Amino acid sequence: MKIWKEGHMKIGIKDEHEIKLMRESGRILGLILHELGKNILPGMTGLELDAMAEKMMKDYGVVPSFKGYKGFPNVTCINVNDQVVHGIPTRKPFQEGDKVTIDCGVIYQKFHSDSAITKGVGNIDLELSKFIQTAEKALKKAIETARPGIRIQTISGVIQDVIEKNGYSVVYDLIGHGIGLNMHEDPQVPNYRDINPGPILQPGMTIAIEPIFTMGNSEVKTLKDGWTIVTLDGSTAVQVEHTIAITEKGCEVLTKRPDES
């Protein structure tokens, strides 16, 4: 792996073999999230999904990225309704009409992948359906934009535009990131335009793009468990995420799930 320096940043440029390992890490994570997504049903609990995820990780021979990370107790983050990110799975059953986000990461031969899905539980109203579809649209457009020669801010601007044109609020405190031998690496990948335009993308960079926004305002707070971040106004929040690799011609989604074209 080569290290490319820009200012204070040190960005890992992966070679073909390292991308191959990250591709396998992402493929396995995609399969795990695909199965978990099918089980987001009324009566299911976050802890049950977490146990399923841990068993699948063992079956696939991968290590969880999250469990033990700075003391986090589980292999997944499960975020329901106003929970934004880093939710600790609980025994509380999901209810019809809830929003559930599953954020998960795995390590395959030292390389991390990171991805998140958001789904409605059972029959959901049109407002929540549009909200989730907007998240998926923001992520899709960001991925379509990612290619060599553009700056990170170009991706950030695309995400911000989709979110705000649909009447939602970007959570400024939470952003995407580089990924590789560590779960969080340079560069940062904000969901909004910043004074710092970010580095120019080049082949071999691997980043996790994750639009995070709310139906209400952008303010959030951390609960007493020290992990779960919720919206300050109680509004519903959403997060979706894929790990991608920048290629010579564009990018490759490493965490693609079987249900994605």
Report CA torsion sign: 27, 258, 51, 135: positive
CA dihedral defined by 139, 144, 148, 154, rounded to 10 degrees?
A: -60
Residues present in the chain in total:
261
68/57 Cα distance (integer angstroms): 15
pLDDT of residue 10: 85
pLDDT of residue 8: 79
Any idea where the domains of the chain sit in the sequence?
2-252
Mean pLDDT, rounded, for 22-36: 98
Matching residue, tokens 């710092």: 196
221/118 Cα distance (integer angstroms): 20
Decide if 69 contacts 60 (C-beta within 8 A): no
Cis peptide before 187 (omega within 30 of 0): yes
Cα of 33 vs its chain's centroid, Å = 11
Matching residue, tokens 């468990």: 225
Rounded to two decimals, what is the model's pTM? 0.97
Mean pLDDT, rounded, for 39-57: 98
- CATH class of the structural domain 2-252: alpha beta
CA nearest neighbour of 142 among 210, 85, 206, 202? 210
Strands across the sheet containing 176-178? 185-189, 176-178, 206-209, 242-246, 251-253
Decide if 258 contacts 28 (C-beta within 8 A): no
CB-side exposure of 248: number of CA atoms within 13 Å?
2
Cα of 22 vs its chain's centroid, Å = 16
253/115 Cα distance (integer angstroms): 10
pLDDT tens for 60-116 read: 999 999 999 999 999 999 999 999 999 999 999 999 999 999 999 999 999 999 999
255/105 Cα distance (integer angstroms): 10
37/39 Cα distance (integer angstroms): 5
Cα of 49 vs its chain's centroid, Å = 17
Measured CA distances, 161 to 117, 169, 199, 213 (Å): 21, 10, 20, 12
**Confidence band of 7 (pLDDT split at 50, 70, 90):** confident
223/90 Cα distance (integer angstroms): 14
pLDDT of residue 9: 79
pLDDT tens for 184-211 read: 999 999 999 998 888 999 999 999 999 9
